[in-house]
């Protein structure tokens, strides 16, 4: 494996460890791969909801919200062809 590949895998593992509760390394990127990771992220977001922007907690909240949004876009996509009774 190339050094670049190793770096990507290490970053992905750090992100998963972070999401699972290991905050020792910090994390610049968060990847949600499973429904279990998704649920953990939602719980963590709930605990960070009052975080102020610019603080470490605020940055964590922003990262988690972005990761959750990406996961939801893939796994909970709303069918745009479905219209309500008014549409």
Do the Cβ atoms of 38 and 71 come closer than 8 Å? yes
Give the global pTM: 0.61
Q: What is the pLDDT of residues 13-62, one digit of tens each?
A: 666 676 667 766 665 667 788 999 999 999 999 999 999 988 888 888 88
54: left (phi over 0), alpha (psi -120 to 50) or beta: left
Nearest to 60 by CA among 32, 18, 16, 24: 18
State the DSSP code for 79: -
The pair phi, psi for residue 82, each rounded to 5°, is: -80, 125
């Amino acid at each position: 494996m190339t050094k670049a590949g190793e770096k990507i895998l290490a970053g992905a593992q750090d992100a998963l460890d972070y999401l699972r509760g290991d905050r020792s390394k910090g994390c610049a990127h968060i990847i949600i791969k499973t429904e279990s990771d998704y649920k953990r992220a939602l719980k963590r977001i709930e605990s960070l909801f009052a975080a102020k922007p610019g603080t470490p907690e605020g940055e964590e909240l922003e990262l988690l919200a972005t990761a959750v949004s990406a996961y939801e876009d893939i796994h909970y996509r709303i069918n745009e062809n479905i219209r309500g009774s008014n549409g």
